[in-house]
Amino acid sequence: MRYELVRIVSRKSLNKAVQKGEERFNKQRMKLRQLTIDLAARAYELDKGKPPATVNDLVPDYLKTIPQDPLTGTNIVLRP
């Protein structure tokens, strides 16, 4: 009985730790993807003399595809 209680408590703690780790990982992925867009936009601006109007302007010359938000699955947009 004691072993089962320890196992249940340990599983809940582990699940919380895994969930927290996934959240931190997704936040870092989002930051990296946003940085990639920012750098591509800067390269576009240096080449063209004006900033891109949308992320679509960066594909395919500066980005292979438009990065997606890891949480929502939607395309990431340019920051103002």
Tally the domains of the chain: 1
Give the CA distances from residue 2 to residues 9, 13, 51, in Å, rounded to whole numbers and listed in that order.
11, 17, 64
User: For residue 72, what pLDDT is reported?
Assistant: 86
Please provide the average confidence, as pLDDT, over all residues in the chain.
87
Residue tagged 């919380």 (tokens)? 16
75 - beta bridge partners? Answer: 68
What residue numbers bound the domain in which 44 lies? 2-58
Reported as a single tens digit per residue, the pLDDT across 12-37 is 777 888 899 999 999 999 999 999 99
Q: Which string of DSSP letters, residue by residue, matches the chain?
A: -HHHHHHHHHHHHHHHHHHHHHHHHHHHHHHHHHHHHHHHHHHHHHHHSS--SSGGGGTTTT-SS--B-TTT-PBP----
